[in-house]
Structure 1
Amino acid sequence: MSKYLQLFLHPQELASVIQLKIIRKPLFTVNDTITTEELQECYKLLNLTSRSFAVVIMELHPELRNAIMLFYLILRALDTVEDDMTIDEKIKIPLLRGFHEKLLLKDWSFNGNGPNEKDRDVLVKFSCILHEYHHLKPEYQSVISEITEKMGNGMADYIEDEQFQKDGIQTLKDYDLYCHYVAGLVGDGLTQLIVLAEFGSHHLLDDSQLYESMGLFLQKTNIIRDYFEDLEDGRHFWPKEVWSQYGKTLDSFIKDETAGVHCINHLVLNAMEHIEDVMTYLSSISEQSSFQFCAIPQVMAIATLAEVMNNPKVLRQNVKIRKSTTCSLILKSRTFKGCVEIFQTYLRQMRHKLPVGDPNYLKFNLRCGKIDQFFEEMYQENLPTGIKPRETPIYLKVQERSQWDEKIETTVLKPERLSMQRITVSSIALLLSVLIFFST
């Protein structure tokens, strides 16, 4: 089915495309991204490495935009060294362990990647990144350097781990640790930057489980989805402690779809353990662009989990959500209440998808019940007359966050809806919106 036909078959998503591409206005100007030639080059590199991350980063408050953009590029450079199998380990391991020291230099680049490494330009033009990195506030530089050091050493440890290289991840504890190094540390660094900018509660730094869960929820979702792609590359990220319950080898699920789907559902259930932490974290972000930056990947993750759950296609291909669905999620996740509703919607879908005969059926429904209770505790909207809400920590957090939601509803969302109502969705307007969306 063509992308155009999909849009016409999902009129609500088509309306979201129009709203996102034509009606919605960015929160901030992007004039500060072109102040120097080096900065312009950095943003070009950002667009080359990830269009999706570029979009959400460009929406950030100017106080954090350059810092987070450079943080992303530096970690992308580190990841490009780690991923490139053409680099000799005698060069790769010292480079990974000492990569944070390169941030002290004014001028450094690396051209030792293979010619087919798609993100090699980030390292070839690393001097531009260094130039702008040294213009950041010292406290922002310190955070980026700290996380780069931890991640670089973590990557090197896994390269030197012969069992990991041969057999992949073994236990659930190993699974969490691996996700910590590749995603949890990113959550740590971003949280430090957000709190330093006074855009989020200082309590976020007191509970490492919150920002750890932000990273692990995303990473585990990607690992489940990327089963076939990773298998083709000779990588094994599904933990043996889980998959060995359903098959003798990890690649056996390609032939035994029933067992493979059961394993997928087990891993989805494991990822769902982070949902309460994710929602608690989001309720603690006050500045709007930072909230959207944190919220968008999380709502994409729950939508992707719903897509991969009980889906045998995961065993044969990379499964993704529709681009038009992405537009809807971006628009709705601008309020905390909208994020809660997105999670509730996809959790209901997942409940309906899971057959009674699945070995994880009972555990999954118990887990959903706990999440439902948590959501009810957030708002406590259906209490009997005369009963006051229990002022639990999450209830108080959500009440505070709801004040920001009301401002966004009044100043941004309501005007956008009025503008949408004035649009006559003629065939020309429809065609125009589709062309704009798929040409960018």
Structure 2
Amino acid sequence: MGTLGAILKHPVDIYPLLKLRMAAKHAEKQIPPEPHWAFCYSMLHRVSRSFALVIQQLGTELRNAVCIFYLVLRALDTVEDDTSIPTDVKVPILLAFHRHIYDRDWHFSCGTKDYKVLMDQFHNVSTAFLELGEGYQEAIEDITKKMGAGMAKFILKEVESIDDYDEYCHYVAGLVGLGLSKLFHASGLEDLAPDSLSNSMGLFLQKTNIIRDYLEDINEIPKSRMFWPREIWSKYVNKLEDLKYEENSVKAVQCLNDMVTNALIHMDDTLKYLSELRDPAIFRFCAIPQIMAIGTLAMCYNNVDVFRGVVKMRRGLTAQVIHQTKTMADVYGAFFDFSCMLKSKVDNSDPNAVKTLSRLEAAQKSCRESGALNKRKSYIIRNEPSYIPVLIVLFFILLSIIFAYLSANRPSY
């Protein structure tokens, strides 16, 4: 009923949702017949439906490389995430993971649900990896080695300072950005992007996820996962878990806004990276998640519900983003619109209001100076009319037409 209510409230979502459903069905039909590839693509759909959709934008060769890259890093992340694995067992696995991907027989049972299946049958991923071109293999191995070492470092180290936070996000996501840029370059479709821009692409996504997933991470059993830097949260509470308690709601929201403001610093680099892509498929693959990130930050900002559950964009809006993101003008438009949404929520009494507004205005300036804002359809910020009464009227008009038709053709006795 919730989905139906959302559709009735936002009927403009209907067509994009239908398109999204058709795209998902099409993606399922593209799963290769070979057992190991079939496992990889079906697993991709199970561990990340949104990523499985955007990856379909890519050509076959690059799509296969990115699929395996994602699953290798998802498996590495599953090892890191499993708080039940003793540190003396976990660290060696993280450090050696880049070698395991060459071993068709290696697997390690950990994680839960679909992630456990991925780890138990990891030999399928290794088999597929060994069929990739050498340039793709080298890029994936290099990033996996660096990421494993970084994760191992932070198993033994708390995220204390903002520098620590940036370093951690670099290891778990900035390196993903660097790796994808290497894969794009290996495909011959793109020039190699500067590391600083690739890193910012990853940090923008990762920081958004860390902000959104506060409650899930802090409630992790048997041990909390704490990624918000002490340098930020200690200004508001004595312990990070204190943010989830209702009596600390005001301070929690101020801390949340501080975290969002920190993430906004990566917007300009993100826009620059996207503006320099040439291949339309790679562009859509990269742009859609970044728009989802700024949209999610706009939803989370000044929103105490982050500490009560999961805050995310409605599915219909996600479908609109996927459907409408085709050019850089669409990206500038979405960033501008979501920045406006976020800006409208800034309270001047917030401790970081000046800094937040400054970063938003810098991004909006870049969007305006692109000259592209009038070349796209604005679908985020507007006073949406209430379509429900109109739909009801149209429904009764349709019923009247049908009734009149049936009456006119009714046989006489």
Query: For residues 20 and 89 of structure 1, do their structure 2 counterparts lie closer, same or farther at Cα, with a shift above 3 Å needed?
Result: closer
Q: Summarize the Cα distance change of 1:59–1:370 in structure 2 as closer, same or farther, 3 Å threshold.
A: closer
Q: Is 1:215 aligned with 2:213?
A: no
CA separation in 2, counterparts of 1:22 and 1:91?
44
Give the superposition deviation at 1:48.
2.1
Which of 107, 111, 125 does residue 129 from structure 1 map onto? Answer: 125
| CA gap 1:211/1:325 in 2 versus in 1, 3 angstroms | same
Distance 1:102 1:20 in 2: 36
How far apart are residue 262 of structure 1 and its match? Answer: 1.1
- Give the whole-Å Cα distance in 2 for the aligned partners of 1:298 and 1:279: 9
Contact 2:107 2:123 (C-alpha < 8 Å) held by counterparts: no
Match of 1:4 in 2: 4
Counterpart of 2:340 in structure 1 is: 348
Query: For 2:141, which of 138, 145, 151 is the aligned residue?
Result: 145
Task: For residue 199 of structure 1, report the CA deviation from its aligned partner.
Answer: 2.4
Amino acid at match of 1:278: T
Task: Give the Å deviation of 1:110.
Answer: 1.8
State the alpha-carbon separation in 2 of the partners of residues 23 and 249 from structure 1. Answer: 44
Match of 1:247 in 2: 237
Q: Among 74, 77, 89, which residue is 1:79 paired with?
A: 77
Residue equivalent to 1:58: 56
Q: Which residue of 2 aligns with 1:225?
A: 212
3-state SS of paired residue (2:105)? coil
Shift of 1:274: 0.5
Matching residue within 149, 160, 163 for 1:173: 163
**Which of 190, 194, 204 is 1:200 aligned to?**
190
Q: Which region of structure 1 is more displaced relative to structure 2, 362-371 or 72-81?
A: 362-371
Gaps of 5+ in 1: 383-401, 406-425, 428-440
Say which of 346, 363, 366 aligns to 1:371: 363
SS in 1 for 2:370: helix
CA gap 1:381/1:218 in 2 versus in 1, 3 angstroms: closer
Q: Once the 2 structures are TM-superposed, how far is the Cα of residue 9 of structure 1 from its aligned partner?
A: 0.6
Q: 2:262 aligns with which of 262, 270, 290?
A: 270
Amino acid at match of 1:78: L
What does 1:17-416 correspond to in 2, within 5 Å? 17-21=17-21, 31=30, 33-105=31-103, 107-113=104-110, 116=112, 118-161=114-157, 164=158, 169-202=159-192, 204=193, 207-233=194-220, 234-253=224-243, 254=245, 255-379=247-371
| Amino acid in structure 2 at the alignment position of 1:198 | G
Q: Is the 8 A contact 1:292 1:333 kept in 2?
A: yes
1:381 Cα deviation from its structure 2 partner: 8.6
Q: Find the counterpart in structure 2 of residue 436 from structure 1.
A: none
Deviation per CA, 1:85-122, whole angstroms, max 9, x where unpaired?
333333322111111112233x22324326x4541221
Secondary structure of 2:287's partner?
helix
Q: Distance in 1 between matches of 2:356 and 2:88?
A: 46
Q: Which amino acid aligns with 1:75?
A: L
**1:157/1:36 Cα in 2 relative to 1: closer, same or farther (>3 Å)?**
same
**CA 1:240 to 1:90, structure 2 compared with 1: closer, same or farther past 3 Å?**
closer
1:208-253 superposed Cα distances (whole Å, 9 cap, x missing partner):
1101110000111111111111111212211111112222222333
The answer to whether the 8 Å contact 1:332/1:339 transfers is no
After superposition, the C-alpha distances for 1:370-423 in whole angstroms (9 at most, x for unaligned) are 2222223323899xxxxxxxxxxxxxxxxxxx9xx9xxxxxxxxxxxxxxxxxx
The secondary structure found in structure 2 opposite 1:264 is: helix
Structure 1 moving runs of 4+ over 4 Å? 22-26, 28-31
- Aligned residue type for 1:72: Y
1:315, distance to aligned residue in structure 2 (A): 1.4
- Decide whether aligned partners of structure 1 residues 270 and 38 sit closer, same or farther in structure 2, where only a CA change above 3 A counts: same
Partner of residue 415, structure 1:
none
Aligned partners of 1:201 and 1:284 also within 8 Å? no
Q: Is the 8 A contact 1:78 1:99 kept in 2?
A: yes
Offset at 1:346?
0.8
Aligned mates of 1:270, 1:112 — CA distance in 2: 36
Deviation of the 1:317 alpha carbon: 1.2
RMSD: 2.4
1:374 partner letter: S
Q: Distance in 1 between matches of 2:258 and 2:290?
A: 20
Give CA-to-partner distance per residue, 1:313-369, whole Å, 9 cap, x none.
111111111111100111122211111101111111111111222122222222222
The residue type equivalent to 1:267 in the other structure is: M
* 1:84–1:117 contact (8 Å) kept in structure 2: no
| Structure 2 CA distance for partners of 1:380 and 1:134, relative to 1, 3 Å | closer
C-alpha distance 117-93 of structure 1, shift in aligned 2 (>3 A): farther
In structure 2, C-alpha distance between the alignment counterparts of 1:195 and 1:272, rounded to whole Å: 27
Shift of 1:16: 2.3
- Aligned in 2, Cα 1:330/1:282: closer, same or farther, shift over 3 Å? same
Decide whether the 8 Å contact of 1:216 with 1:274 is kept in 2.
yes
Q: Distance in 1 between matches of 2:2 and 2:29?
A: 34
Match of 1:432 in 2: none
List runs of 5+ in structure 2 lacking aligned partners. 377-393, 396-413
- Residues 170 and 199 of structure 2 are in contact (CA less than 8 Å); yes or no, is this contact kept in structure 1? yes
The separation in 2 between residues aligned to 1:274 and 1:4, in whole angstroms, is 36
